[in-house]
Amino acid sequence: MKEYELTVLIHPDLEADLETPLTKVRDIIKNAGGTIVREDNWGKKKLAYPIRREEFGVYIYMDVSLPADAPLKISNIFNITDEVLRYLLVTVNEKARKALAEQQAQATEDATTDTTKE
């Protein structure tokens, strides 16, 4: 299983009952053989340009683990799903993720060192 980052742009009219389209997205991932590691709702935001005559969209970010054939299956289903305006499915760059974690650890270490000096 390979790790991916999935960002889904949900139709803004579905914001009142967001659980229904999210359940559909989760089921698509699980039916393709994947698992959701982490999910984050970024909320409703204004789009840079209209998509299907919509000015806003609800952003959902997920870290997912998928088998090799799953990205194509997921893409084919998302392309015909009305609730999803756009999606972005990219592989995780392990080197960048590790470097970011080290950078955050160093920043935390520096912050605790600064407070102990005072």
The total of structural domains in the chain comes to 1
Domain range for 36 is 2-92
Give me the pLDDT at residue 58, please. Answer: 95
Q: Which distant-in-sequence residues (6+ apart) come within 8 Å of 15 by Cβ?
A: 44, 58
| Domain harbouring 42, CATH code | 3.30.70.60
Report yes or no on 46 lying in a domain.
yes
Report yes or no on 104 lying in a domain.
no
Report yes or no on 13 lying in a domain.
yes
Q: Return the percentage of the chain with pLDDT > 90, whole number.
A: 69
Report yes or no on 117 lying in a domain.
no
Q: From the CB of residue 31, how many other CB atoms can be counted at a distance below 10 Å?
A: 12
Average pLDDT for residues 94-107, to the nearest whole number? 84
Report yes or no on 114 lying in a domain.
no
Beta strands in 52-83 (DSSP E): 54-66
Report yes or no on 72 lying in a domain.
yes
Report yes or no on 48 lying in a domain.
yes
Whole-prediction pTM = 0.79
Range with the poorest average pLDDT among 52-56, 71-75, 105-109, 113-117: 113-117
N-to-C CA span, the chain: 48
Q: Which residue matches tokens 């974690």?
A: 101
Report yes or no on 112 lying in a domain.
no
Yes or no: say if 81 and 29 are a contact pair by the CB < 8 Å rule.
no
Spatial separation of the C-alpha atoms in residues 43 and 25, rounded to whole Å: 16
Average pLDDT for residues 77-90, to the nearest whole number? 93
**For residue 78, is pLDDT > 90?**
yes
**For residue 113, is pLDDT > 80?**
no
Give me the pLDDT at residue 114, please. Answer: 64
Q: Which residue matches tokens 């229904």?
A: 20
**For residue 91, is pLDDT > 60?**
yes
